[in-house]
Structure 1
Amino acid sequence: MYKILIVNKFFYKRGGDCTYTMNLARLLEQQNHEIAIFAMQYHENINSGWDTYYPSEVVFSGGSLKSKILATSRLMGFAGVKSSFLKILDDFKPDIVHLNNIHSYLSPIIAKLAHNRGIKVVWTLHDYKLICPAYSCLRDGKVCELCFLEPLSVLMKKCMKRSWTASIMAYIEAKRWNRNQIEPYVDSFICPSSFMANKMKQAGYNEKKLNVLCNFIEFDKSRNACNQKADIREQAYCYIGRLSKEKGLKQLLEVATSLQYKLYIAGEGPLKDILEKKYACEKIIFLGKLDNDEVSRLLRHVQFSVLPSIWYENSPLSIIESLCMGTPVLAANIGGIPELINDENGLLFKPNNLNDLGDKIIYLLKKRSFNNEMIQTSSADRFSSKNYYNRLIEIYNDNK
């Protein structure tokens, strides 16, 4: 059994990285490993028992000049993160440090600090921050790879939030924490898709350190899914996830307004108010943030879920959860998505192609039927926490 320090910049259900981090902690505890958590102080964090070790919150937008200076110092590896992390290393004495999203609000310096003490460092990648300063490989609504080998484009193209200030900070961070300042201190990178592993390799990372391991669903959730009886499904479809630009929601909603079928939108995000104001109507229903049980009920109520992303999706939990509920998925043919979808469990459409999206929504609602029970059973096994844990332990054991 290992003592494992799990690190993520937040510790509440903010997004996919946070959900994964919390699921990972539970999974490892269930297998009798000793777990500690390291994150940034934040008012929505769930109590982990290790909160006193967290460095103070930093603010990158809307704060005072002093807070912006503090935030800039943090992304460089200062402003309390170093001392806080060394303290938890001293007291917990982990065998393994398992990193997740740590840039900006924490810092990659923690990989170096752990490595220098002879601690194995494993890093699960949830986005493309190590090769794209703006995280998403997305610029002006289109995929972009200009910064893979040199990050100057993030500054020249003003990629980060269309802001000079944010883009300058992203450039500084990318230069400070380039591949030469990260890769030597990480033993293994976990890439949730082969697509991500190939992009990391394209950007110069050592393929021997890249391990492809698809995301998982919690054991209890997958088991309960297989035990549930099928519902009578409404002739409707749903989107579940973050309401943000890279998810392609504006494109989806433009199509949905021209169709007669009901679309349910579940989730929160920066576009929530804008989208609700423009698109909410009898056939487009915004449900807000749902808990796990509500998500399960929604997925079992509709014909299929849809993910219209325009960025290089990695291994979306929204797809995995849908499939484990026996609900097929219509998704953009981009990033790691095609690794999850086949003829038996869903359909792909051309990203950013509204005509193709609309045609396939109609096709799935009117002409195509799926074996929901088969989708559910095969997916619950494929994405099980048991399979994930067995492969993760192999990675942990490697060279230990």
Structure 2
Amino acid sequence: MKVLVINDYYSGGGAENVFRTTSELLLEDQHVEVEVFYGSNERTSPKSVFAYFFNRKIKKDLCHLLNNFMPDVIHIHNYYHLLSPSVFIGIRRYRKKHPELKVVFTAHDYHLLNPSSGLLRYKGKKAFRIPENFTLFQLFRSRLDYRGPLHSFIKKLHWIFAMHIVKVRREINLVICPSLFMNNLFEKRTRLKTVVLRNPLAFYQEGDFDNKVGTSEELRYTYVGRLSEEKGLHAFLHAFKQLTTKNKKVFLDVLGEGEEKEDLIVLCKALKIDEYVEFYGYLKGDEVKRILERNNILVLPSLCYENAPLSIIEGAAMGNIVMASNLGGMIELAKMTDQYYLINDWEKELVDVSEKVRNCQFVPNKVRDINLFDKENYKGNLIRLYRSI
């Protein structure tokens, strides 16, 4: 079986990690031939608005690869940032001569459902959640990009072009949903065939945490993810300020990069909590693991409906108590661990929840069924899905 794995970028965030892991795991199987196709090594913008809608070079390169490699399955992760809907035009053209071709799509966000991939609207740079029962009319009346009305308008046009002119959904045989939350939205809003398959973890629970700090000694929080407005870090830092006034043995490690990084550093100084907060930037898996092994609380204060944030499972696998927003896929992943708190308002609830954690005897957290996120389990299920379609 020949599989072509496609994504906008080679490196970047969670979707890129799953893209790389998918291709690497498939390469280990002696019965699968694998090729990868991506637009850029790192995150970058299209060269023009036209290329955002239709990238001629990408289409040409993809058609050349398809004709030479002749895949049985194409597995797409993301396409709409850089590759553009033109990849589906290339796939459709190839499919006319090879109707047996099947296309699998992993839904890392909500782009197939609406123009706002994160189910967010904006006033200025401030993000607001779109209701789960949204209508497209509501969305098209809203500003869907923090950069301004023009970018929002282009984003809406791009989605209309992709869904109603190119008709990308017609080329997809199966949608892989990494969460039940995402799967339920697809079942309600599309006729696409879906299946739930959890994303694979970068590392696993080992059981011994000799370097783990007890919560009665220090509260050591970790945030792992992109530093952007919808991740809720502004509100969390204000809540964290309240903690530092009550107890000096509280610390926050922020792991990740993003457009909000400098603003968050400035905010920490303004709140006079910079001595308690450390920004590490982007770290590789082993470095993230080392910090999670030491710290005792994993926080995910997102304002948006996170789909399947693996930081929750990885944090719990390293013994961290989970504190996450009571939204989207965060709920089901938190409930897959032994110790979790789902929070509606961080500024009102963080202090009380943290005191509960401090006053309880600390026992490292666990993931109840870590095998659901095992790489070999993911690879085996993926190959079975390819064969089933």
**Fold agreement, TM-score > 0.5:** yes
Structure 1 residue 255: Cα displacement = 0.7
3-state secondary structure, aligned to 1:340: helix
Kept in 1, the 8 Å contact 2:255–2:281? The answer is yes
Separation in structure 1 between the aligned mates of residue 170 and residue 135 of structure 2, nearest angstrom? 17
Q: Which of 144, 150, 157 is the aligned partner of 1:172? A: 157
3-state secondary structure, aligned to 1:22: helix
Q: Given the superposition, is the C-alpha separation of residues 226 and 344 from structure 1 closer, same or farther in structure 2, using an over 3 Å criterion?
A: same
3-state secondary structure, aligned to 1:290: coil
Separation in structure 1 between the aligned mates of residue 108 and residue 85 of structure 2, nearest angstrom? 15
Separation in structure 2 between the aligned mates of residue 77 and residue 348 of structure 1, nearest angstrom? 44
Report the count of equivalent residues: 365
Q: Which of 120, 124, 128 is the aligned partner of 2:106? A: 124
Gaps of 5+ in 2: 245-249
Pairing 1:66-81 to 2, within 5 Å after superposition: 67-68=47-48, 72-81=49-58
Tell me the amino acid that sits aligned with residue 129 of structure 1.
H
Q: Which residue of 1 aligns with 2:183?
A: 197
Q: Which of 287, 296, 303 is the aligned partner of 1:303? A: 296
Matched, 1:262 2:248: no
Separation in structure 1 between the aligned mates of residue 88 and residue 370 of structure 2, nearest angstrom? 33
Structure 1 residue 361: Cα displacement = 2.6
Q: Which residue of 1 aligns with 2:247?
A: none
Q: Which residue of 2 aligns with 1:393?
A: 383
Separation in structure 1 between the aligned mates of residue 151 and residue 139 of structure 2, nearest angstrom? 10
Structure 1 residue 206: Cα displacement = 1.4
Q: CA RMSD in A?
A: 2.4
Cα offsets for 1:110-168 (capped at 9, x unmatched)? 23533523321000011111123121111243321499653x55553222124122112
Separation in structure 2 between the aligned mates of residue 321 and residue 344 of structure 1, nearest angstrom? 10
Tell me the amino acid that sits aligned with residue 271 of structure 1.
E
Separation in structure 1 between the aligned mates of residue 361 and residue 107 of structure 2, nearest angstrom? 35
Gaps of 5+ in 1: 46-56, 60-66
Matched, 1:99 2:88: no
Separation in structure 1 between the aligned mates of residue 82 and residue 337 of structure 2, nearest angstrom? 41
Separation in structure 2 between the aligned mates of residue 58 and residue 291 of structure 1, nearest angstrom? 24
Matched, 1:17 2:1: no
Percent identity, aligned pairs only?
28
Q: Give the structure-2-normalised TM-score.
A: 0.86
Separation in structure 2 between the aligned mates of residue 122 and residue 266 of structure 1, nearest angstrom? 31
Structure 1 residue 244: Cα displacement = 0.9
3-state secondary structure, aligned to 2:328: coil
Structure 1 residue 360: Cα displacement = 1.6
Cα offsets for 1:264-314 (capped at 9, x unmatched)? 111111111111122152212222222222111110111111101110101
Q: Given the superposition, is the C-alpha separation of residues 85 and 286 from structure 1 closer, same or farther in structure 2, using an over 3 Å criterion?
A: same
Q: Which residue of 1 aligns with 2:211?
A: 231
Separation in structure 2 between the aligned mates of residue 333 and residue 307 of structure 1, nearest angstrom? 10
Separation in structure 1 between the aligned mates of residue 293 and residue 322 of structure 2, nearest angstrom? 12
Separation in structure 2 between the aligned mates of residue 97 and residue 342 of structure 1, nearest angstrom? 33
Separation in structure 1 between the aligned mates of residue 385 and residue 52 of structure 2, nearest angstrom? 28
Kept in 1, the 8 Å contact 2:323–2:341? The answer is yes
Kept in 1, the 8 Å contact 2:212–2:296? The answer is no
3-state secondary structure, aligned to 2:263: helix
3-state secondary structure, aligned to 2:222: strand
Tell me the amino acid that sits aligned with residue 215 of structure 1.
N
Cα offsets for 1:49-68 (capped at 9, x unmatched)? xxxxxxxx753xxxxxxx43
Q: Which of 128, 134, 143 is the aligned partner of 2:116? A: 134
Separation in structure 2 between the aligned mates of residue 108 and residue 240 of structure 1, nearest angstrom? 31
